[in-house]
Chains A and B, each alone.
Chain A
Amino acid sequence: MSRKNDLKFGRGKSVILLTIVGFIFLYTPIIVLIIYSFNYSRFSSTWGGWSLQWYYKLFDDSSMWLAIKNSLLIGIVSTIFATILGTMSALVIKRFVFKTKTLFTNLLFVPIVIPEIVLGILLLLLYNLIKLELGLTSIILAHITFSIPFVTLVVLNNLKNFDSTIEEVGMDLGATPWQIFWKITFPNISTGILAGALLAFTLSIEDFTITFFTSGPGATTLPLKIYSMIKFGITPEINAISTLLVLFTTIILGVMYFILNKQEKKILT
């Protein structure tokens, strides 16, 4: 909720210029990437006219399909579990009072701020210790682990607007705790849960570092596949698949924005 004010900061020409430079810096690589995915020429140094051939080639590649399938499977399964566990912990944290609440909310940030590579190594060590074979299962477990705090934070934020006296009303009207959750709590925080789930899903689909550490033979995900392709030189195929990834995440972010925005409007009216 930004608000216009009369302060001078942010109005000077140099500030505007810097902002524009910043945006160019941010978006040039993405735009170049997208344009070159349509390049007919095999080499990114020359422009050979528009073409969709790299996309066709992509869809003919069976190992690419396998990677996409793995990514989607991991994404869906880990999202389901992370959403359930993350939502549950948000509901529990909400019930805590003062100090415990602050403690647990801060604890949530730890996995978010420690470097991914460290988390990846830690998980690898853990899986070795418990003799878990590396593969789809280990990746899914790892993705659940790093997604939970994100889901929890999104749901917690949503719960701030939730007046828990309506749960008491439910109890007053004869509902059991189970009925209260499904008929009262859930419908009122479902947008938060959905936003959390979408976030978890995008994080899972895009993750490289942690997946790299916890994957095993036959469990190649899309980012891992792209990385292995790069080893043999940057081909327009990589541009094509990256463009699709960008498109995919943009859509998800757009949906998330739409949901949260709609909900905010509902609260304000």
Chain B
Amino acid sequence: MLELISLSKKYGNFKAVNNLNLVVKEGEFFSLLGPSGCGKTTTLRLIAGFEQPTSGKIQLNGKDITELPPFQRNINTVFQHFALFPHLSAFNNIAFGLRIKKKKENEIKQQVTEMLKFVSLEGKSDSLPNQLSGGQQQRVALARALINQPSILLLDEPLGALDEKLRDQMQVELSNLQKKVGITFIFVTHNQEEALTMADRIAVMKDGTIDHLGTPDEIYLKPSSTFTASFIGNTNLFKCVIETKTENSLMLRTENNFVFEKFDASGDNIVGKNLTISLRPEQIRLSRNNPHKNENGLKGIIKNEIFYGDMSIFWVTVLENIRVAVSMQNYVASENVSKPFQEGEEVFICWDKKSGHLITE
């Protein structure tokens, strides 16, 4: 178990990490997600020991390791650009940690060979890093860290340097590998899809602190802030105020005086309270007909369609100049994509009264 307690790191007057509290459980695939410059790498470097915190504590399995130098922490890192030793072969790169620990040469040989097999690089043991492809270098970097059997493996955007195909493939390989070895992974990324598909839990970071911590489902469906809501996936945000309230339903008024119903049984929402509702593009549908009884509806004009192949995003203007994104799966019969809606067409956007997530800030 890794605990970060009120951790701060200042560069001059700038707080790169700001009073951060975090508990990472043993064997967990944990992801730090956030926009560029929010302090992810700095947090990782504090955990690894490359930087000393300005204040706060780091505990590993109940032991304070804040003051320990990197080479005395049982933590290893996979760096963003792999940082393989250019003068050493794949074998010797992986063997480095064991050699430092003065293991016997035949023991090293056996372990490294096993490790090479584990990351499917059997034939490449004598290759120098510049003779390996990006994905292979990536796996050498992983093997080099894993062979030390760390209690925690830190990964700083390890897939950032790979092309998209390879990245998808490595995402799967990486999560399988994590399950197999059972080591705690702390995985830094600014790619939300990567975090959503791989992590057990995600901490969304903003300005050096954690904005929202939760499972991928929670973070996607019930973001606690508009920042998290708009950072994870696409969403439509509307500020509104509670106009009236019944036992399990609210009437909400937007800034443009559009009033609609939202089913909500929680007791903490009182009349007059300001809220933001987050509606995902996939929670809204387009229709030429009036909305159903259990739906809210708004008339609008399709401004443009962005075609992604399997799906399309329609940008619809409602209430004069509010742009709403609506996603729709494309149905492809034979070679032609059937286009159910045209740009410039007048349509209803409809969403279920149960849909939408309310955010109080």
Q: How far is the CA of A184 from the CA of B93 in the complex (A)?
A: 11
Interface secondary structure of A, over-half rule: helix
1/0 contact string of A178-197 vs chain B (CB within 8 Å): 01000110011000000000
Q: Is A165 an interface residue (CB 8 A)?
A: yes
From A172, A183, A266, give the contact of B77 (CB < 8 A): A172
Q: How far is the CA of A15 from the CA of B79 in the complex (A)?
A: 52
Q: Is A2 an interface residue (CB 8 A)?
A: no
Residues of B257-311 contacting chain A, CB below 8 A:
none
**Does the CB pair A165–B100 fall under 8 Å?**
no
Q: Distance in Å from the Cβ of B177 to the closest Cβ of chain A?
A: 19
Contacts of B63 in A (CB 8 A): none
**Does the CB pair A169–B83 fall under 8 Å?**
yes
Identify the closest chain B residue to A269 (Cβ): B130
Q: Is A66 an interface residue (CB 8 A)?
A: no
Identify the closest chain A residue to B48 (Cβ): A172
From B70, B77, B86, give the contact of A188 (CB < 8 A): B86
How large, as a class, is the contact surface on chain A? 10 to 19
Known: A173-B100, A173-B144, A174-B100. Is A166-B85 also a contact (CB below 8 A)? yes
Q: Is A175 an interface residue (CB 8 A)?
A: yes
Contacts of A184 in B (CB 8 A): 85
Q: Is B11 an interface residue (CB 8 A)?
A: no
**Does the CB pair A172–B70 fall under 8 Å?**
yes
**Does the CB pair A169–B71 fall under 8 Å?**
no
Q: How far is the CA of A269 from the CA of B127 in the complex (A)?
A: 14
Identify the closest chain B residue to A186 (Cβ): B87
**Does the CB pair A173–B148 fall under 8 Å?**
yes
Q: Is B235 an interface residue (CB 8 A)?
A: no
**Does the CB pair B83–A175 fall under 8 Å?**
no
Q: Distance in Å from the Cβ of A185 to the closest Cβ of chain B?
A: 10
**Does the CB pair B86–A171 fall under 8 Å?**
no
Q: How far is the CA of A188 from the CA of B86 in the complex (A)?
A: 8
Q: Distance in Å from the Cβ of B62 to the closest Cβ of chain A?
A: 22
**Does the CB pair B144–A168 fall under 8 Å?**
no
**Does the CB pair A171–B70 fall under 8 Å?**
yes
**Does the CB pair B130–A166 fall under 8 Å?**
no
Identify the closest chain B residue to A166 (Cβ): B83
Q: How far is the CA of A175 from the CA of B84 in the complex (A)?
A: 15
**Does the CB pair A174–B85 fall under 8 Å?**
no
Q: Is A62 an interface residue (CB 8 A)?
A: no
Q: Is A163 an interface residue (CB 8 A)?
A: yes
Contacts of B84 in A (CB 8 A): 166
Q: Is A176 an interface residue (CB 8 A)?
A: yes
**Does the CB pair B87–A187 fall under 8 Å?**
yes
Contacts of B145 in A (CB 8 A): 172-173
Contacts of A269 in B (CB 8 A): 130
Q: How far is the CA of A266 from the CA of B130 in the complex (A)?
A: 9
Q: How far is the CA of A179 from the CA of B100 in the complex (A)?
A: 8
| Highest count of chain A CB atoms <10 Å: which of B48, B86, B130, B145 | B86
Known: A171-B71, A172-B76, A173-B144. Is A188-B87 also a contact (CB below 8 A)? yes
Q: How far is the CA of A179 from the CA of B85 in the complex (A)?
A: 14
Residues of A181-223 contacting chain B, CB below 8 A:
183-184, 187-188
**Does the CB pair B83–A173 fall under 8 Å?**
no
Contacts of B96 in A (CB 8 A): 170, 173, 175, 183
Q: Distance in Å from the Cβ of A189 to the closest Cβ of chain B?
A: 10
Contacts of A170 in B (CB 8 A): 96
1/0 contact string of A253-269 vs chain B (CB within 8 Å): 00000000000001001
The 5 A-B residue pairs with the shortest CB-CB distance, nearest first, are: A173-B97, A165-B83, A187-B87, A174-B71, A174-B100
Can you offer 29 A-B residue contacts whose CB atoms are under 8 A? A163-B83, A165-B83, A166-B83, A166-B85, A168-B50, A168-B77, A168-B79, A168-B83, A169-B77, A169-B83, A169-B85, A171-B69, A171-B70, A172-B50, A172-B70, A172-B71, A172-B76, A172-B145, A173-B96, A173-B97, A173-B148, A174-B71, A174-B100, A175-B100, A179-B100, A183-B96, A187-B87, A188-B87, A269-B130
